[in-house]
Structure 1
Amino acid sequence: MSIYYKVILFQVLIILFPMFVYHLFFYESDRERRKPHSKLSIILIFILILSMSFPVRFAEGYIYDFRIIPFIISFVYGGTIPGLVTGIILLVYRFIISGDGFYVVLVNYSITCIVLILMKKKLESFQKKNKLLFISIVFWANTFIVMLTLFSKNQSSQISFMLFFYTITWICMMMVVFVIENVNQQMVIREKLQRDEKLNVVSQLAASVAHEVRNPLTSVRGFLQLISDDNNLQEAQRSYIKIALNELDHAQSIINDYLSLAKPNTEEMISINISEEVMKTVGLMKSYSNIQNTTIKTDIQDSLYIKGNKGEIKQVLVNIIKNGIESMGTGGILVVRSFEKEGVIFIKITDSGKGMTKQQLKNLGTPFYTTKEKGTGVGLTISFQLVHAMKGKITVESQPEKGTTFTIQFPSA
């Protein structure tokens, strides 16, 4: 039996060593992993071939290896195409190796493949705990089929070894999942640090130049207003002054945005009726929606309370509602809902506009990023920052040409 344990140990090294190398030296986003030639896919195929090349040979025609680990992991973290590529390589190599049991492997892995493909969308939304549970269920279901096959072929003497081997396999798989989840966590931290660094740069820039720019703008605006009071001005000159004043107001608005980004006013956190604030903001934005020929519908639960700042809540809601109205162009319906569920206040703002791609969603909320031609990319950044400062969070769901839903969550006060 000692020879078996040596081969099992070698199988463990075949699995864990490449995954630790991946953890230490490679950082791939979820999108990059879904490509067939991603670093993770290449490493998993390498692990698959190596583990199948050095199996544990328990008896004539009965071999054990860790092939199921790269097979399942490629589907869960790579997606359908990398998973299918890994599965095809597995079956082809198993056929080349020959020996009894090929058709059992074919049926077993085909069923597993179908289950993993059908669960693809749910898998993408699973957190680590749910992924571990799902992978374990798939793994042990696969193991149960192998056990039934051994019983049907009067190989019950292998059952104890098979259970021992598959327990070690399951432990290794859980370690691989933890390694990849750790890489995911590092990616999130890296992106957060990059975003915070950008915010810090913008904050310093805003703090250093905003007041310097504000003063001359105020002076210019004052003199233009004085000039506009001159009765000797021609109508064309008055229109030019009016345009200049409007542009100065626009510049002032941008400066105010940068000042809000630099130092959001979150000191005064009081209990506020968010239902009333949402209704007031919707009423305020209805005139703008009428100009754009769009309709705002509401479904707002009464007496919902959160800890926050009225001015900042209004600023966030105005930003998101205004963006929703503008994304629909002329026509369309914007729906604003608010409700409480399990101690959390939800505000959902759904438009029927042009929507966004996955890449646009990923960049949403980062400084200077905007999908509008004349946008500064600061409004939503401020909104995300203000909601986060009030212990809330914003999630965004969108599909091109199907609209966008902003969901704001706050703990109930």
Structure 2
Amino acid sequence: MDDKTVKLQINEKPKWNQWLILSMQHLFAMFGATILVPVLTGLNPAVALLSSGLGTLAYLVITKGQIPAYLGSSFAFIMPVIAAMSLGGPEGVMVGTFAAGIVYGITSLLIKWTGVQWLMNLLPPIVVGPVIMVIGLGLSTTAIEMAMNFDDESGQYVQPMLHFSVALVTLAITIIASVFFKGFFNLIPILFGITGGYVMASFMGLIDFSEIAAAPWLRTPEVVVPFATFTPDWSWSIIFIMAPIALVTLAEHIGDQLVLSKVTGANFVKKPGLHRSIMGDGAATIIASFVGGPPNTTYGENIGVLAITKVFSVFVIGGAAVIAIAFSFVGKMEALIASIPGAVMGGISILLFGIIASSGMRMLIDNRVDLGVKRNLIIASVILVIGIGGAFIEINENLEIAGMALATIIGIFLNWVLPGKEYGFGNGAMFASLEEQLKDDDDEAA
């Protein structure tokens, strides 16, 4: 990276009159996606903002202020969180979120002690790609039910064409912003879509503004704190629903670190180390479990902001985290988010869940995984049908392994027992890049 193109280096502080504006850019970039996850899953959006800010600050501390990454609500956990909500409510979700954070922590320690090769062998593209596809496709019914206003009590759609028209307008605005807008605006299509859909929904009479008017300006977020607001019930079914998904998001995490290193010109895989960045993700997710937020992960949207602005300062990222925490105490902001109609969220979700599924397909394509190889075709096929079909294994009345978690476990098992493991990596593009970065410092020393 040419230093002349960099506006602020990683450890540089911005001038006081620029700091707020630069941090607000990152807040806008993450805002739509971060509030979308709790709205879709039934968690509290204000608490999600709080946990996002606290988690990002913890991440910056754990990575020694050397990685300018913002953490927000993870899309990969949408389906597991919805399942956990049905089993144990928000309290159950917090148990599962804590378990996912522990998986991050254990993985971080193993990488520090033994290196990353074992993780690469456990999660080749032929396993991770189809599981990511399951995450998106498994939620497709949820997106359509929101878009067309499905009523759970009656089991019927209520005014489906009215709501679907709002969803389609929301979808159209999001697509236009994503394809035609340039620069920073290209990074916040979800925010544009929600705003445009909200305006149309208000004209259609689908929004009740009385709750917003009645909400106080300042209000403490409704946190869910273990041993304070509830006593944790360690449901193994919930743990097995959520914890294995952390293995899948680890592959996404590695990809984000490689992109972030490329954008900034630093080598974060070597310094402060992949183990520290994964531990930072784990700490952020554990913090979320202590306040009632969804699991957290590093955000590609904010990496995009870094690439456009060439402002790499961790102080700017920290400023965005502090602003997010402050926003979580604004009662009218919480009421405004709560008033967003399901049709608007459905319109966003049609695109978002499809993009998640397509990202899994892209992982297979980018790594040139050959589905003409029978073992690859078998692994992908089994993962897709088990994950989307909703298969489950009931071990006892307190333990059930279902859906995406079961698909992940079976995919890992099949990859382990079937011959020809090398075919599961394709050309290994992502992992080859990882190995290259791991060797960089050693080559320079030589």
Q: TM-score range by the shorter chain?
A: under 0.3
User: Which structure has the highest helix share of the two?
Assistant: 2
User: Which structure has the highest strand share of the two?
Assistant: 1
User: Which protein is bigger by CA-based radius of gyration?
Assistant: 1
Greater RCO, 1 or 2 (C-alpha within 8 Å, sep 6+): 2
User: Please, what TM-score do these two structures have when normalized by structure 2?
Assistant: 0.23
